[in-house]
Structure 1
Amino acid sequence: MIGAEKQTYENITVERDGELDSIVRVTMNRPKKRNALSLSHMEDLIHAFTQVESDRSVQAVILAGNGPAFCAGHDLKEMLGRDHEFYRRTFDVCTELMTKVQAIPQPVIAEVHSIATAAGCQLAATCDLVVAAEEAKFATPGVRIGLFCSTPMVALSRAVGQKKSMEMLLTGEFVGAEEAGRIGLANRVVPADRLRSTTRELARKISEASRMVVGIGKLAFYRQHEMPTSEAYAYTGEVMSHNATLADAQEGMGAFLEKRQPGWQNR
């Protein structure tokens, strides 16, 4: 369980919210490297999200960055002059990280205070929700250094659509926070002094629902997203039918009809 035995990481910190124990805050903590994603950094994040996944008391996760950047992408110093095997491992671990973020039942909210570039933009786009400060910027600038942001394009194109994602990938230009909100890359854009409180309030709101039901919905969302419409309806109809039989669904419907607050059992 998170917090039962304090896990120490080299590249990140993990802590419970001071007032809401159901929220976990994961902070990338390589400020001098602008939170660049080295192999060990990504492995720390995968381990932390795996720990969260198995902790039934956690209902939401906030992913933040310490220092001048949210995340500046892959660690280029680590990548320079390596062989194909190293690059393949790097991008495989990156894919494992992105997959893990969307696979855990708890919603993950990116709290983006500054720049999120390349794999850092990918990481933000992969998170279930994004709250951005007005100063935040997003970009996939790999084309400018000869390394096209091919893996970041997967998350980016699914978040903002074909034309805008292609523009970002081909030009490498920054997208400001307001535009990120308009194109669907950010859910909320707020002044910097309200960033943490806004993100926390969003996590708190999520935590009011049944953890089990939220987890079912998150999994179903990503599974149906790439299905043809008829297949998606068949799949989600089955998901809802199963969901309706659960104790929390029966409790929630009953509480609504009786005009009272539900008592979730997470089963």
Structure 2
Amino acid sequence: MAEVLSFRTDASKASASLVLRQLADGILRLTLNNPPANHLSLAMMETLMGELQNAAEDDDVRVVIIASTGDVFSAGHDLKELTEHRADADDGEAFFEETFALAADLMLEITKLPKPVIAEIDGLATAAGCQLVASCDLAICTDTATFCTPGVNIGLFCATPMVALTRSAHRKQAMEMLLTGETIDASTAKDFGLVNRIVPKQYLQQVVTKYASVIASKSPMAIQIGKEAFYRQVEMPVEEAYGYAAEVMVDSMMTEDAEEGIGAFLENRMPDWTRD
């Protein structure tokens, strides 16, 4: 399939350039494009949110990759933007509320998206940038990537990044990152459970695209059902989770894709998945 390259905007050409959009073979690559820091400013989050919402409704999109330009994956919220609003009549409280509420909505959009989202990290992912990584379904980074939740270093506690981090990394390791604010390297991030794979810089995009291609070849229906079920059951007590999972299995067995997939396996042929 020929590669399709396009750019979208919700409000202006300026906001469109914040996130580059590339779609090829069912894989949507969304690239944060505001170096050097790729801050999750209000405009960046609004633009990324719009792209994810569009992807949810686009049958041509099977997998989403979130990548970045420059040497920083994302330095999190724009502290300069936040500080400027301290001059507001309410000392910035309304803007702070809007920023952190939008960040939460963005992370939830990733979790609820009916398609897998892979973070492709080359460089530093800090604070809300680390939160973004932790919110994605999979994360693959270079061997020089670094991660941190440094709020405590500037008089804050990374409370919103904490939500995604504690659901991705192991609990005590997440607390270590939150309490110390120290930067961890790629190997430590993998040990902590924050990333899946570490690859040399020159192979990052190739490896991530390969993972995305493998996932894109599977049943869209099964992937959608499975992703939703994963995030629902993980918060349940084990007995409740098994009961729920059994219901999901029965419902899945009744789908066209399960019938087609099992039939294809028994007949030793490639399955023809439904597309809606």
Deviations 1:185-227 (A, max 9, x none): 1111000001000000000000110111101100111111111
State how far apart, in whole Å, the 1-side matches of 2:170 and 2:196 are.
Answer: 15
Greater shift, 135-144 or 227-236, is seen at 227-236
1:7-46 pair list within 5 angstroms: 7-8=8-9, 9-17=16-24, 20=25, 22-32=26-36, 34-46=37-49
Q: CA RMSD in A?
A: 1.3
Aligned to 1:95: 104
| TM-score normalised over the length of structure 1 | 0.95
1:29-108 pair list within 5 angstroms: 29-32=33-36, 34-80=37-83, 81=86, 82-108=91-117
Aligned pairs, how many? 261
State how far apart, in whole Å, the 1-side matches of 2:275 and 2:170 are.
Answer: 35
Greater shift, 6-15 or 50-59, is seen at 6-15
Question: SS at 1:159's partner residue?
Answer: coil
State how far apart, in whole Å, the 2-side matches of 1:158 and 1:110 are.
Answer: 16
Segments ≥4 residues shifted beyond 6 Å:
none
Deviations 1:233-261 (A, max 9, x none): 11111111111101000010111111111
Query: Is the CA contact 2:139–2:196 (under 8 Å) kept in the aligned structure 1?
Result: yes
Query: Is the CA contact 1:36–1:71 (under 8 Å) kept in the aligned structure 2?
Result: yes
Query: Is the CA contact 2:6–2:21 (under 8 Å) kept in the aligned structure 1?
Result: no
Question: SS at 2:159's partner residue?
Answer: coil
Aligned to 2:145: 136
Aligned to 1:149: 158
Question: SS at 1:253's partner residue?
Answer: helix
Quote the offset at 1:4 in angstroms: 9.8
Quote the offset at 1:266 in angstroms: 3.6
Question: SS at 1:138's partner residue?
Answer: strand
| TM-score normalised over the length of structure 2 | 0.92
Aligned to 2:249: 240
State how far apart, in whole Å, the 2-side matches of 1:15 and 1:93 are.
Answer: 24
Aligned to 1:126: 135
Deviations 1:53-80 (A, max 9, x none): 0001211011001112000010000111
Instruction: Tell me which of 226, 234, 237 is aligned to 1:225.
Output: 234
Quote the offset at 1:10 in angstroms: 3.8
One-letter amino acid matched to 1:62: I
State how far apart, in whole Å, the 2-side matches of 1:111 and 1:79 are.
Answer: 27
State how far apart, in whole Å, the 2-side matches of 1:132 and 1:4 are.
Answer: 24
Identity %: 46
Aligned to 1:116: 125
Instruction: Tell me which of 244, 252, 256 is aligned to 2:265.
Output: 256
One-letter amino acid matched to 1:190: V
State how far apart, in whole Å, the 1-side matches of 2:228 and 2:127 are.
Answer: 26
Task: Provide structure 2 residue ranges, at least 5 long, that are not aligned to the other structure.
Answer: 10-15
Query: Is the CA contact 1:109–1:130 (under 8 Å) kept in the aligned structure 2?
Result: yes
Distance 1:35 1:225, change over 3 A: same
